[in-house]
């Protein structure tokens, strides 16, 4: 069999390492073999390729050192950084929230689980929730680590010495230039050289190739030049309508914190590509990020009209039904995921909770046992935490205490478990232990109102009125609609006024 044909076969089947080995052997025999050179370039790119259309998670650097902020205080319903209380917005007393104020999504994806601290101190000191279990570094750091890892595939040095390349020569040859650009951008992560090649290639084709404009926008986006990226993407759309271009333009607007503009662009894309599920999912994600759950569920249901196997839409609709006191309906959606072949600890955990709240107790423990058998380290803590909640529901305080202890054994930063252990210790009369647990919960999750209120109530019982007042005030700040916190704060204000 012809070696080059075999290499192409490996490439089509995504067996990039075998493809690279054959191309290397061909290039050793003939270093000027352009077909083997191009194929090896594409194979090396395929090994480290990451689809950048999806929205990146903002790390500490992007959160704090943001040069694109226009207004410090945005209007309600116009910002993803400060989500308001939109229509159908869940209450924090019902649905858990992230540190930034967004409801936790039913489907883990970039930018849904990490918080958004307002200052560098909060970004460094505040640990992440149990869903991430690691600090979220900046996107640029991730690209550097990817580039370092990609060098392991070439122990004898880089395949292409970029410092010796004549980009003007390659820019005039489109077939070689496109493969070379993707290699530089994805494999080497050298944005400066990639930008130079894209600029020369765009000029060589007389600014008529929409693909090169999109690549220029990617380079500008990676460098933080979002307005330049926006101009290139808009110019590309004038020449060629493409779904990825719309998605990338919306990604730029989301990074600029202009969700309403992003929704308009998504809808313009739907006019060109009717029924495109990725565009509708993008709209639903933005509405969900702005706490407008009614519109989010509406677009998720539209997605299911075109693609009934879309896992993200099914999971998010199920989560919304669960937190709106419809566990039976949520159970149907989760069972649908199970029938589709989704088989993981998270799904069985959700099935167990739905069965418990739908009063199908015979299936509850079975689902949690299956979740425990499939769970990994971080997920295991969440499963034990939910088992503790089920134990509280049936009145088995011993099992609940053991489950919350096992939660902390698997994740020592689980603020909710600390809070619940404090409540159980307080019921046993262990005041000092309860105070320690509440303080740990407050330090780990200052955005939660429950540990603040519990600490305030405990301090009030002990006669430490100043600490009680401060804790009650923090509870009201975290959740303004909590009646007990407002009532306790009102009583303490009245007491201080009498003094």
Q: Tell me the pLDDT of the chain (499 aa) as tens digits.
A: 899 999 999 999 999 999 999 999 999 999 888 999 999 999 999 999 888 887 565 554 455 455 555 555 556 667 777 665 555 555 555 677 665 556 677 777 655 554 444 444 444 443 333 333 333 334 444 454 444 444 444 455 678 888 788 888 889 888 889 999 999 999 988 999 999 999 999 999 999 999 999 999 999 999 999 999 999 999 999 999 999 999 999 999 999 989 999 999 999 999 999 999 999 999 999 999 888 899 999 999 999 999 999 999 999 999 999 999 999 999 999 999 999 999 999 999 999 999 999 999 889 989 999 999 999 887 899 999 999 999 999 999 999 999 999 999 999 999 999 999 999 999 999 999 999 999 999 999 888 889 999 999 998 888 888 888 888 888 888 888 888 888 888 888 877 665 4
Task: Find the Cα–Cα–Cα–Cα dihedral 354, 360, 361, 365, rounded to 10°.
Answer: -50
Q: How many helices (H) and strands (E) does the chain have?
A: 26, 0
Provide the pLDDT for residue 123: 41
This prediction's pTM = 0.82
Compute φ and ψ for 334, nearest 5 degrees.
-70, -35
- For CA atoms 109, 110, 114, 116, the dihedral sign is negative
CA distance 216 to 197: 9
Provide the 8-state DSSP code for 128: P
Report the length, in residues, of the chain.
499
Instruction: HSE, CB side, 13 Å, CA atoms: give it for residue 70.
Output: 9
Give dist(CA 19, CA 17) in Å, integer. Answer: 5
- Segments making up each domain of the chain, as ranges: 1-48, 367-498
Task: Give me the half-sphere count of Cα atoms (radius 13 Å) on the Cβ side of residue 5.
Answer: 2
**Within 13 A of 261's CA, how many CA atoms are on the CB side?**
12
DSSP string, 464-494: -HHHHHHHHHHHHHH-TT-HHHHHHHHHHHH
DSSP-derived letter for residue 136 is -
Backbone angles phi, psi at 83, to 5 degrees: -65, 135
- The closest alpha carbon to 98, from 137, 131, 121, 61, belongs to 131
How far apart are the C-alpha atoms of 439 and 454, rounded to whole Å?
A: 10
Q: Strand, helix or coil at 97?
A: strand
User: How far is Cα 364 from Cα 385, in angstroms, rounded to an integer?
Assistant: 14
Distances from the Cα of 94 to the Cαs of 413, 428, 482, in angstroms? Answer: 22, 27, 11
* Top-level class of domain 367-498: mainly alpha
Residue 299 φ then ψ, to 5°: -75, -30
For the chain, the first-to-last Cα distance in angstroms comes to 95
């Amino acid at each position: 069999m012809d070696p080059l044909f075999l290499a192409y076969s490996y490439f089509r089947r995504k067996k990039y390492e075998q493809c690279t080995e054959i191309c290397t052997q061909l290039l050793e025999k003939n270093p000027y073999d352009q077909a083997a050179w191009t194929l090896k370039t594409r194979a090396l790119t395929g090994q480290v390729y990451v689809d950048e259309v999806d929205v990146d998670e903002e790390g500490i650097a992007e959160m704090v050192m943001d040069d694109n902020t226009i207004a410090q205080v945005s209007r309600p319903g116009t910002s993803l950084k400060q989500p308001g209380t939109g229509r159908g917005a869940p209450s924090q007393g019902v649905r858990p929230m992230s540190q930034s104020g967004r409801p936790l999504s039913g489907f883990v994806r970039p930018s849904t689980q990490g918080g958004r601290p307002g200052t560098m101190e909060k970004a460094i000191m505040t640990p992440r929730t149990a869903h991430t279990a690691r600090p979220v570094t900046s996107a640029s750091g991730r690209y550097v680590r990817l580039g370092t890892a990609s060098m392991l595939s070439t122990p004898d040095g880089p395949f292409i010495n970029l410092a010796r390349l004549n980009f003007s020569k390659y820019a005039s040859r489109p077939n070689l230039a496109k493969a070379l650009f993707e290699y530089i951008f994805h494999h080497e992560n050298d944005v400066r050289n990639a930008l130079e090649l894209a600029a020369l290639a765009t000029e060589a084709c007389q600014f008529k190739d929409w693909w090169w404009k999109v690549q220029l926008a990617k380079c500008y986006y990676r460098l933080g030049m979002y307005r330049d990226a926006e101009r290139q993407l808009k110019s590309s759309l004038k020449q060629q309508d493409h779904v990825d271009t719309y998605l990338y333009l919306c990604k730029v607007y989301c990074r600029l914190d202009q969700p309403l503009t992003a929704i308009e662009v998504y809808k313009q894309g739907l006019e060109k590509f009717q029924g495109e599920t990725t565009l509708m999912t993008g709209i639903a994600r933005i509405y969900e990020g702005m706490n407008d759950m009614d519109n989010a569920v509406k677009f998720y249901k539209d997605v299911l009209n075109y693609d009934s196997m879309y896992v993200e839409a099914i999971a998010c609709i199920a989560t919304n039904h669960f937190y709106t006191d419809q566990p039976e309906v949520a159970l149907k959606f989760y069972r649908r995921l199970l029938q589709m072949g989704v088989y993981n600890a998270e799904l069985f955990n959700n099935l167990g909770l739905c069965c418990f709240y739908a009063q199908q107790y015979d299936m509850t423990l079975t689902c949690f046992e299956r979740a425990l058998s499939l769970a990994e380290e971080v997920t295991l803590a969440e499963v034990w935490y939910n088992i503790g909640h089920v134990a509280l529901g049936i009145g088995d305080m011993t099992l609940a205490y053991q489950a919350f202890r096992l939660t902390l054994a698997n994740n020592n930063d689980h603020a909710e478990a600390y809070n619940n252990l404090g409540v159980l210790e307080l019921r046993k009369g262990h005041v000092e232990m309860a105070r320690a647990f509440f303080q740990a919960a407050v330090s780990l999750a200052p955005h939660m109102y429950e540990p603040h209120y519990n600490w305030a109530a405990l301090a009030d019982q002990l006669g430490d009125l100043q600490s009680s007042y401060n804790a009650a005030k923090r509870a009201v700040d975290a959740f303004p609609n909590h009646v007990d916190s407002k009532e306790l704060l009102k009583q303490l204000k009245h007491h201080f006024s009498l003094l």
